[in-house]
Amino acid sequence: MKNAISMKNHEFQKVYKSAKSIANNLLILYTKPCNLDNINKLGVCASKTVGNSIARHRACRLMREAYRHLEDKIKLNNYIIVIARPNITKVKEMEVEKALYHLLKKSDLLNNSDKKNNDQNEQNEQIEKIVEKDIND
């Protein structure tokens, strides 16, 4: 994960208490903005309700892998905590990725590439108009 680092325990507790949360049937997502230099702090957690240690470890690996696949689409400078729900043990990796994508989209943490492209097109058009004016004058 190139744009994320793990949270320390005190950061995890602070974010867990004061962050905004969104959930679906597989995951719970806590998010809070932070003042970091173009990086996210990621925390993953699976409680004993998920299952034994093997199931919990698998759940954490699935969540980290889902984050890794979506990392380029996620806005930076945020604390992100992903908590597994018991249903996560019954699904495959793609379903966890879809669930995380859904939560990130609901929490407005995904980069809007279409918006960026539209903004760039508008800027390019404005530059072209300015250049045309300069050429005509």
What integer pLDDT is reported at residue 114 of this predicted model? Answer: 45
102 close to 57: Cβ distance less than 8 angstroms = no
Domain of 86, CATH number, reads 3.30.230.10
Residue 65 within a domain: yes
Residue 123 within a domain: no
Residue 119 within a domain: no
In which domain, by residue range, is 20 found?
4-111
Q: Taking phi first (over 0 means left), then psi (-120 to 50 degrees means alpha), and beta for anything else, what does residue 119 get?
A: alpha
* pTM, entire model: 0.77
Instruction: Show the tokens assigned to 104.
Output: 């990130």
In 2-112, which ranges are continuous DSSP H helix?
A: 9-18, 53-70, 93-106
How do 27-33 and 40-45 pair as beta strands?
unpaired
Residue 52 within a domain: yes
Count: domains in the chain: 1
pLDDT band at residue 118 under the 50/70/90 scheme: low
Reply yes or no on whether the pLDDT at 55 is more than 90.
yes
Residue 125 within a domain: no
Among 14-23, 64-73, 113-122, the range with the most confident prediction by mean pLDDT is: 64-73
Residue 54 within a domain: yes
Residue 47 within a domain: yes
